[in-house]
Structure 1
């Protein structure tokens, strides 16, 4: 798929048209802004699916009109636009909002932290959702997790990495708490929205970039200018997608429509997460076979340095001066550490068993 297909063109939308939800004979229309190019495979499509499903499940009583990144506000401005009531809701990722509070980042991912399934278990059964609501309420937003793109890749690099020395000083596009880990390990971190990554990599403004994974990275064309694709993406063992709803708009909904939005988010998480899991391996095989991409494992000394930085960050958050950030970090770390051994004995052990020299199928 060509980049021009997914980037699209900006619509002539203004803040004035978004400030108040449309009402017609008891029907409500919300305006959703996103941080994605329109119809970008993965998150762009998932955002449209979310908008459509709310309308379908509500029987048209609550409809959602989608505006892609840059059509109303630049991608980094989505959170503030919804908080201010300029738009009704956004579709994005928590990692984009950590400047508001580092505690927000835990609900998207933490370096060397939990996978999508572990994080969702923590949120649904370990108290995470209550803290998620609490920290977003500070900004007048009601959040819901609506999917996860799974473990990220370390990224696309123009040059091969032989040791941590090759990593230090690189200009690397990334975001979130993983970006802070990279910075501490010596990279120069640059945060760019999806639609700007290719041109920055092509021009040499950046030396490397990580975005989501093969399924969403390939349409951006990153493999055309950086052939070295590194794993594991320890900066984001998971990467949650979310919607954030203006709190006044949320509170104004009748209870049955609130339930529809809530269960819509739960169904979208399963569908979107498994869509990534299904498509990442298919697209990766194509990138290698048809486009000359070289899959490489990150040097061990680099991974150790990154892990050391991640550990330092976690200890700092567990001693944070903001009691809510400390409570989030404590809860996240305790759930992750409790889960770690079992996940290796269950999922991890089965993955390793697949590598045995057996004839299966």
Structure 2
């Protein structure tokens, strides 16, 4: 190495980098240790977005193994292969398994605050939700909510705005909801119950048979691509939108806290990074595939896409916020999460109304 080059390295601070590259590091015990984990899933084998494909649970496991050079290998078990679909939370909490892939609002019966980390009726779209989680205190609140259960939740996907659902008959007013039998999860279901809807909680694989046989009159699932794959268009022709119940829907990667503590810091960083990758990739995949699927449903399969009447939306909003008032009055933690979420939404709405909303309404 010439004197001029040595002087340049010293002046620019590259000496440490050069040394780090030139001198092999001594492997620590942590860098040699291998971890073998299990991940269960709330969704079945072959379910795109959730179990297979870009940003899915299987993709997550593969990427973590690649980036850790095999130090952390996670075996993925779709719903029913190791435990039933909705038993992942308890299994992770107890340490029976290390991870579960699903949605936090499935655990609202254990702690209602979990609802806010999946989908919030009349809440924020992906942009606002992700901003709240990362920079508005949302992740810290998620950690606080889950602390008593010995688990950690990470955002690991998003479907974007979901549809209101499939209906056998048109919805022309609030009265048409009364007596309706509908599959719909989460807080949206609690709201609809107050308008006379008989809410059914069915796993994904049971929705189409129930809709086809008339056991239910309507069903909410995800969006055009996922819904078309389930065949709902063969049982109901009216496909309603507004996304009031799920303006966005976050996928949850659930981790046992004790198991997490055993991982070296670099592997923890990789797990978080891959979860973030899946979060963005899942949304991008959904946006790309929903576009094509919706066009096909309308043009080739006779589906009629409609927007809920203003009267219905107004009533849904009224009942939703009345429900929020009741729930937050019962639980200080729910109130804390609710206020954080909607305070952030108020600020974010100010920007979104001047930015993206203008583009969508004025420039298209």
Q: TM-score, normalising length from structure 2?
A: 0.88
2-side partners of 1:185 and 1:56: how far apart?
Answer: 50
Q: Is the 8 A contact 1:198 1:221 kept in 2?
A: yes
Per the alignment, residue 106 of structure 2 pairs with: 96
Task: Determine if the alignment matches structure 1 residue 163 to structure 2 residue 201.
Answer: no
SS in structure 1 of the partner of residue 322 of structure 2 = helix
Instruction: Answer with 107-116 or 337-346: which moved more.
Output: 337-346
Task: Determine if the alignment matches structure 1 residue 329 to structure 2 residue 338.
Answer: yes
- Given candidates 12, 35, 47, the residue that maps to 1:28 is 35
Task: Determine if the alignment matches structure 1 residue 353 to structure 2 residue 342.
Answer: no
Deviation at 1:52, TM superposition (A): 1.2
2-side partners of 1:332 and 1:313: how far apart?
Answer: 16
Which runs of at least 4 in structure 1 moved beyond 6 Å after TM superposition?
none
Q: What is the CA deviation profile of residues 32-81 of structure 1, one whole-angstrom value per residue up to 9, with x for unaligned ones?
A: 11011212122222111111111111111101111111112221211112
Q: Is the 8 A contact 1:109 1:237 kept in 2?
A: yes
SS in structure 2 of the partner of residue 65 of structure 1 = strand
TM alignment of 1:1-361, pairs within 5 A: 26-45=33-52, 46-320=56-330, 322-355=331-364
Deviation at 1:347, TM superposition (A): 0.7
Q: What is the CA deviation profile of residues 237-270 of structure 1, one whole-angstrom value per residue up to 9, with x for unaligned ones?
A: 0100011011121111111111111111111111
2-side partners of 1:303 and 1:153: how far apart?
Answer: 13
1-side partners of 2:105 and 2:136: how far apart?
Answer: 21
Q: Is the 8 A contact 1:163 1:299 kept in 2?
A: yes
2-side partners of 1:159 and 1:37: how far apart?
Answer: 29
Larger radius of gyration: 2
Deviation at 1:120, TM superposition (A): 0.9
Deviation at 1:179, TM superposition (A): 1.5
C-alpha root-mean-square deviation of aligned residues, in Å? 1.3
SS in structure 2 of the partner of residue 44 of structure 1 = coil
Q: What is the CA deviation profile of residues 311-341 of structure 1, one whole-angstrom value per residue up to 9, with x for unaligned ones?
A: 1123234433x32221111101111112123
Q: Is the 8 A contact 1:149 1:212 kept in 2?
A: yes
Deviation at 1:150, TM superposition (A): 0.7
Q: Is the 8 A contact 1:181 1:235 kept in 2?
A: no
Gaps of at least 5 residues in structure 1 are 1-24, 356-361
Gaps of at least 5 residues in structure 2 are 1-31
Q: What is the CA deviation profile of residues 105-152 of structure 1, one whole-angstrom value per residue up to 9, with x for unaligned ones?
A: 011111001111101101111111111011112111111000110111
Deviation at 1:274, TM superposition (A): 1.2
Q: What is the CA deviation profile of residues 265-322 of structure 1, one whole-angstrom value per residue up to 9, with x for unaligned ones?
A: 11111111111111111111011112111111112211111111111123234433x3
Q: How many residues align?
A: 330
2-side partners of 1:95 and 1:291: how far apart?
Answer: 32
